[in-house]
């Protein structure tokens, strides 16, 4: 009941803002509502996680809206600000990937190069049945080395408040010599480029290869090619003596340490601010920039989602292309997300790192984007289907301004087909004019029941459901579309 009340309040807010549009400039109303949306979801996030502080920033059509909530340290009333320095952890990988995209655009490197071309040794172990690891395999986390690297499993045998401190101690002593010693020992168990396994080997090797290509220290390349050009003056690998990092906590409210790896740091050693991340956000919304486009490219021509250049996930949503990266430190987590076709980007940080923090950040991102999208769309009628001539006609309209060439398939997945987006009978047909439909006989459904379903693009992108529709389920985790067959003979 509590969730339903919050949802209704938010829905009412959206309608009020739409009504106010007739009383004043539309742009002013939208700006007011963007700030309200940030406030609503930031407070919900703090309530849901019991974290101390969070900051959320939205960039939309060139304008940036940032708000800071909570207190960094319990009882001290100290807030995060635009200039607060914090570990961005794995969001560092997007910076590294962007550097590699620049090297490819400039013709300095080929994605199909065997990575051993750049390594200090022969490394016969870095191939599987004669097939070597290529540069593009590193960028998609598909090296074929499906194991943790470096292996810290012994440090995680017991997960408790001291685990992060054990990892920090290990990182402080782990250097480049150790890295190459470990690299000689790894074994591929599958062909490179076929399976995805997320580890630090891929971005760190990418950083090393960039050093060989540019004949310069990786960290200097990053500063010269990105930070200086974009005037990101508050982004560093090493915290300056004049600055301190944002305090972060675990789920038990214990103050956590920071990362301490002595290798390249290409996978997670950057520190930045909300202000600087907004600069990088705006950079990644430049659809006419060749480097940006290369970094978001579907390198492997995947029919579902893809990684681009060290992103977590690039997929097609109801709001167009979405490029997403999550950063998780011992006590701080952040998200970096761009929707290039909507000229929309979101970055957020929270000073808590717990097992479910990532999921809650992702849910917050989805809810914010849904609210922003619904400001411009009216869904006052039953959404997603209609019943006619003894059939159910599922109907989905992809915004006309979005790139339909990115869509390989749209399917319907729900309680009536075991939530299987690959079910042949539930693949939708493109009718033109941004519209997709599928007709299924009523006889295929249990009469008198209420079902739930969602639309899925490219087999793997489960579309969020508009907020302001009457046939939407309300759940803290997932919202679906209801299909009501009550009273149907």
pTM recorded for the entire structure: 0.91
Distance (Å, whole) CA 247 – CA 258: 9
How high does pLDDT run on average in the chain? 91
Measure Cα distances from 310 to 145, 152, 368 in Å.
Answer: 16, 22, 24
> Which range, of 36-45, 94-103, 239-248, 464-473, averages the lowest pLDDT?
464-473
Mean per-residue pLDDT for 118-126? 95
**pLDDT value of residue 262:** 87
Distance (Å, whole) CA 73 – CA 69: 12
Integer Rg of the chain from CA: 24
* pLDDT grade for 484, boundaries at 50, 70 and 90: confident
Mean per-residue pLDDT for 220-239? 97
**pLDDT value of residue 6:** 46
More confident of the two residues 35 and 329: 329
**pLDDT value of residue 371:** 86
Measure Cα distances from 30 to 18, 123, 348, 350, 398 in Å.
Answer: 9, 57, 20, 26, 22
**pLDDT value of residue 65:** 95
Distance (Å, whole) CA 54 – CA 297: 31
**pLDDT value of residue 18:** 39
Mean per-residue pLDDT for 466-478? 80
Check pLDDT > 60 for residue 434: yes
* pLDDT grade for 16, boundaries at 50, 70 and 90: very low
Check pLDDT > 60 for residue 60: yes
> HEC profile for 43-103?
HHHHHHHCCCEEEEEEEECCEEEEEEEECCCCCCCCCCCCCCEEECHHHHHHHHHHHHHHH
* pLDDT grade for 27, boundaries at 50, 70 and 90: low
Q: Which residues of 188-219 are buried (b: 16+ CB within 10 A; e: fewer)?
A: bebbbbeeebebbbbbbbbbbbbbebbeeebb
**pLDDT value of residue 446:** 78
Check pLDDT > 70 for residue 489: no
Check pLDDT > 80 for residue 378: no
* pLDDT grade for 32, boundaries at 50, 70 and 90: confident
Mean per-residue pLDDT for 15-41? 63
Check pLDDT > 70 for residue 70: yes
Check pLDDT > 80 for residue 478: no
Q: Contact at 8 Å (CB) between 398 and 407? A: yes
**pLDDT value of residue 14:** 43
Which distant-in-sequence residues (6+ apart) come within 8 Å of 47 by Cβ? none
Q: Contact at 8 Å (CB) between 473 and 438? A: no
Mean per-residue pLDDT for 155-174? 94
Check pLDDT > 80 for residue 397: yes
Q: Which residues of 449-477 are buried (b: 16+ CB within 10 A; e: fewer)?
A: eebbbbbbbbbbbbbbbbbbbebbeeeee
- 88: nearest Cα among 353, 352, 336: 336
Quick: pLDDT tens for 284-337.
999 999 999 999 999 999 999 999 999 999 999 999 999 999 999 999 999 999
* pLDDT grade for 209, boundaries at 50, 70 and 90: very high
Sign of the torsion angle spanned by Cα atoms 231, 235, 240, 246: positive
Check pLDDT > 50 for residue 21: no
Mean per-residue pLDDT for 394-413? 95
* pLDDT grade for 425, boundaries at 50, 70 and 90: very high
Mean per-residue pLDDT for 158-173? 95
Supply angle C-alpha 300, 305, 307, rounded to 5.
Answer: 60
**pLDDT value of residue 370:** 86
Distance (Å, whole) CA 126 – CA 146: 12
**pLDDT value of residue 8:** 46
Mean per-residue pLDDT for 468-478? 80
């Amino acid at each position: 009941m509590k969730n339903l009340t919050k949802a209704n309040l938010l829905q009412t807010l959206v309608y009020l803002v739409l009504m106010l549009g007739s009383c004043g400039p539309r742009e002013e109303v939208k700006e007011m509502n963007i700030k309200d949306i940030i406030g609503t979801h930031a407070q919900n996030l703090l309530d849901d996680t019991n974290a101390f502080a969070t900051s959320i920033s939205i960039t939309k059509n060139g304008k940036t809206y940032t708000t800071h909530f909570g207190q960094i340290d319990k009882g001290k009333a100290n807030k995060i600000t635009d200039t607060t320095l914090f570990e961005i952890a794995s969001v560092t990988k997007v910076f590294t990937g962007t550097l590699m995209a620049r090297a490819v655009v400039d013709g300095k490197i080929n994605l199909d190069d065997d990575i051993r071309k750049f390594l200090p040794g022969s490394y016969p172990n870095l191939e599987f049945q004669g097939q070597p690891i290529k540069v593009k395999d590193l960028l998609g986390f598909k090296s074929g080395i499906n194991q943790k690297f470096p292996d810290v499993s012994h440090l995680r045998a017991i997960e408790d408040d001291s685990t992060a401190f054990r990892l920090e101690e290990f990182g402080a002593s782990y250097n480049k010599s150790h890295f190459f010693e470990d690299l000689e020992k790894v074994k591929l168990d599958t062909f490179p480029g076929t399976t995805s396994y997320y580890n630090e080997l891929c971005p760190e090797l990418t950083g090393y290869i960039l050093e060989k290509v540019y004949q310069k220290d990786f960290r200097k390349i990053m500063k010269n090619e990105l930070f200086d050009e974009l005037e990101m003056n508050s982004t560093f690998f090493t915290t300056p003596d004049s600055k301190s990092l944002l305090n972060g906590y675990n789920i038990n409210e214990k103050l956590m340490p920071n990362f301490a790896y002595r290798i390249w740091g290409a996978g997670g050693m950057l520190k930045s601010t909300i202000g600087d991340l907004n600069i990088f956000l705006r950079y990644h919304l430049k659809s006419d920039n060749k480097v940006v486009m290369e970094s978001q490219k579907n390198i492997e021509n995947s029919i579902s989602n893809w990684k681009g250049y060290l992103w977590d996930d690039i997929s097609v949503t109801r709001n167009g292309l979405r490029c997403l990266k999550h950063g998780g430190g011992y006590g701080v987590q952040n998200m970096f997300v761009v929707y290039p076709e909507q000229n929309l980007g979101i970055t957020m940080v929270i000073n808590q790192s717990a097992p479910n923090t990532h999921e809650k950040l992702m849910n917050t991102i989805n809810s914010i984007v849904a609210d922003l999208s619904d400001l411009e769309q009216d869904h006052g009628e039953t959404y997603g289907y209609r019943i006619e001539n003894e059939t159910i006609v599922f109907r989905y309209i992809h915004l006309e301004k979005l790139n339909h060439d990115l869509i390989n398939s749209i399917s319907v997945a729900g309680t009536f087909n075991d939530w299987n987006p690959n079910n042949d009978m539930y693949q939708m047909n493109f009718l033109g004019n941004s519209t997709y439909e599928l007709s299924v006989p009523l006889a295929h459904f249990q009469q008198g029941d209420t079902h739930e379903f969602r639309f899925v693009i490219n087999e793997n992108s489960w579309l969020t459901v508009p907020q302001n529709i009457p046939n939407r389920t309300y759940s803290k985790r997932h919202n679906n579309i209801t299909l009501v067959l009550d009273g149907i003979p």
